[in-house]
Chain A
Amino acid sequence: MIAYLFIFLGLVFIFFGTLGIIRFPDIYTRLQTSSKCDAAGAIALLVGLIVREGLDSLSLKILIILVFLLLTNPVASHAIARSAAIRGIKPWRKKKKC
């Protein structure tokens, strides 16, 4: 039951992260929702699979993959944002009515 709760939470995070990728107007906002989708969604989904499998060598390997994703996803997001900022991409602003 706890496993299915974690899996449902991860799928909800992943679905709304993908929706944000499609709908948001700017690089930085898209990067923010993509980072949430990678970190929170992947961690919740893999924790759910670990709890569903029980203590095993398979769940230990899933734990290694989870730690690796937890370490590398923020680094990749920061590298993309730094590259866009150095090349001079301005953040999006709402157009004023005049």
Chain B
Amino acid sequence: MTAVTIIITVLGITASLALYRVIFGPTPWDRLIAVNLISSKVVMIMVAAAVLFERRIYLDVALVYAIIGFVSIIAISKFLEGEDTDRK
């Protein structure tokens, strides 16, 4: 059991703990925060898997996943903001 395996295990356990806030969050922003956290942890899991299995292609997958997660978080938060309240 190497160190990278321990990293992947701890990241998986904490991501599934953060899933509690996605399911039972009182407001949509709580769910959004937890989804942001899980997305960041999946990127870290992919980097650790690339180091563990010596596959360079996983790093490209991690970078594209980070970009898509960032754009989706920005889009959903602008959607939850509603209409243009500051442009009157």
Residues of A within 8 A of B (CB): 4, 7, 11, 14-15, 17-19, 21-22, 27, 30-31, 34, 37-38, 42, 45-46, 49, 52-53, 57-58, 61-62, 64-65, 68-69, 72-73, 75-77, 79-80, 82-84, 86-87, 89
Contact = CB atoms under 8 A, between A and B. Distances in A.
A98 to B, nearest CB: 25
Given A76-B73, A87-B81, A61 B86 contact: no
B62 A76 contact: no
Contact of A45 (B36, B37, B44): B44
A21 B33 contact: yes
Contacts of A77: 36
Given A4-B3, A49-B48, A83-B29, A22 B40 contact: no
B24 to A, nearest CB: 10
Given A46-B44, A46-B47, A62-B59, A34 B27 contact: no
Given A21-B21, A57-B56, A82-B81, 20 more contacts: A7-B3, A15-B10, A18-B18, A22-B17, A31-B33, A34-B34, A45-B7, A49-B4, A49-B51, A58-B56, A58-B59, A65-B43, A65-B66, A69-B66, A73-B40, A75-B70, A80-B77, A83-B78, A86-B81, A87-B80
Among all A-B residue pairs, the 9 with the closest Cβ atoms: A83-B77, A18-B14, A61-B59, A83-B81, A72-B70, A79-B77, A76-B73, A84-B29, A38-B40
14 contacts: A18-B14, A21-B21, A30-B21, A46-B47, A61-B60, A62-B59, A65-B63, A75-B70, A75-B74, A76-B74, A79-B73, A80-B33, A80-B36, A89-B27
Interface residues of B, number: 43
